[in-house]
Chain A
């Protein structure tokens, strides 16, 4: 096999793993955001946030 194959393969692998990490962080963030939104919709907020709204 040509050397180019190994170079391409390693760049692709590196990209895939990094992409996976980015995806993990991003999806995790979206999921957390959705949960927070749902809690907020149910009227549950942090106390500090409540005070800010009141004041």
Chain B
């Protein structure tokens, strides 16, 4: 009996914004340091690695492109989980988490898009193809921007959180459909000669830098995420304090 209740208490401890802030204060320097170390190793490896016999040194773009693309999806998953937290458990920190993640997701998706087209130009001879993958990522980018716009349009943070939680979940079930439909569309419209990224298996020489870079990017995301959450918590705390200040001023008068 004691164990689950302990677990629940742990969870709700973490859930308390004040505790969370304390936790962030302890954790974030370590996370940041880890991120920097991983990036140092990952960047070194990615520039020290041999050139691909087919793609030349453009293969190095992969080391930023693939992790960014991975993050763009992981970030949306984090937001979908937070949205569940908002709607099902009505957890205040879940609101904060979803709101803080949106700009980060948009940022990493943008990186994935830019590096993707920079990779595409030398490889395919064009900046952009309406490939299923690229198009889906572009749609994802639009959805991040839509979510940010929605959050900015609402002044009450609790209601904004609920509205965006619903939108996030609707988007979450829709993204696979969008992906599938774009793939279908692609087979109709595109000559089959366009290069596929998932062709041959990756050589271990490329795998290691890629993995380390992916972990580094993920750590970067979590560092930024908890810091952005901290900012958001402070923002709400300030809003509450200001309202109290206004109210007590009214009482004094």
| Chain A interface residues toward B at CB < 8 A | 1, 3-4, 6-7, 9-11, 13-14, 17-18, 20-22, 24-25, 28-29, 32-33, 35-36, 39, 42, 44-46, 48
Contact = CB atoms under 8 A, between A and B. Distances in A.
Interface string B222-253: 00100110110011011001101100000000
Given A6-B61, A39-B242, A14 B115 contact: yes
B122 interface: yes
A40 B74 CA distance: 38
A28 B64 contact: no
Contacts of A42: 245
A21 B65 CA distance: 17
Contacts of A3: 56-58, 122
Label chain A's interface by main secondary structure.
helix
Contact of A29 (B108, B110, B230): B230
Contacts of A21: 103-104, 107, 224
B237 A36 contact: yes
6 contacts: A10-B119, A29-B227, A39-B238, A39-B242, A39-B245, A44-B245
A40 to B, nearest CB: 9
B126 interface: no
* Most interface-central of A10, A17, A21 (chain B CB within 10 A): A10
B118 A17 contact: no
A2 to B, nearest CB: 9
Contacts of A1: 122
Contact of B244 (A7, A29, A35, A44): A44
Contacts of B181: none
- 8 closest cross-chain pairs (CB), A and B: A32-B234, A10-B115, A10-B118, A14-B64, A13-B114, A28-B231, A21-B107, A10-B61
Given A3-B56, A22-B224, A29-B227, A17 B107 contact: yes
A24 to B, nearest CB: 7
Given A14-B111, A25-B227, A7 B61 contact: yes
Nearest to A22: B224
Nearest to A30: B231
Contact of B235 (A4, A10, A18, A32): A32
